[in-house]
Amino acid sequence: MPYITFETVDSSPFAVWLSPISAVCAGSGRFYHGFGTEYAFRAYSERGQLEAIVRRSWKPTAVTDSDWERWVVEWSRIWVTTRGADSLKRVQRVREQPWADALPAFAQCLVARDGNLWVREAHLDDAISAGSFVDDPIVPTKWSVFNPAGRWISDVTMPTAFQPIDIGSDYVAGRMKFGTAKRTVVIYGLSGPAGQ
């Protein structure tokens, strides 16, 4: 099972910015693993036997040169703390590091209490805060919901800064980030196809 993509930079392995990483989640007697080069999750039983593959059609979203430049500038505003020439050198180093030519098929997954698989869409802006697609979202996030047989049920949009942690048949509980540090537990009601 792949976990992350590396390239060699100056004779050392380097994790490629914006590239897929493994998404893993477990619940209802299953372990799911997906790697974002394709929209597919393999579902394994508690004994490690492959039970199903959850798939969805997907067209990769290209990361253009202008997307990369915007990402480097925004990321550097948060993470480059030096000033002057040192700051410019650090930003240029990031700019020259390897980056993915397309966004991953997904960012993360959760298994709801009813056994449904929830899969979060990858969004370029979410990767700015820490260079990762799985951190607290800075834009609304779309989650695709699949039943235990792997059939797509619906898509659910979560608000900006909300990170779901627990999903039941009629609720989604998680943490909401306010400002730079304050987090609050929030519970939303769930209805419609995803709540059935």
Closest CA to 18 of 131, 143, 125, 136: 131
pLDDT at 53 over 60: yes
Closest CA to 76 of 128, 141, 2, 21: 128
pLDDT at 130: 65
Closest CA to 77 of 92, 91, 97: 91
- Condensed to tens digits (0 to 9), the pLDDT of residues 80-125 reads 988 888 999 999 999 999 999 999 999 999 999 999 999 999 999 9
Closest CA to 71 of 105, 104, 90, 99: 99
**Cβ–Cβ < 8 Å for 22, 4:** yes
> Which has the minimum average pLDDT: 32-36, 107-111, 162-166, 191-195?
191-195
pLDDT at 31 over 90: yes
Domain boundaries defined on the chain: 6-61+100-158, 64-98
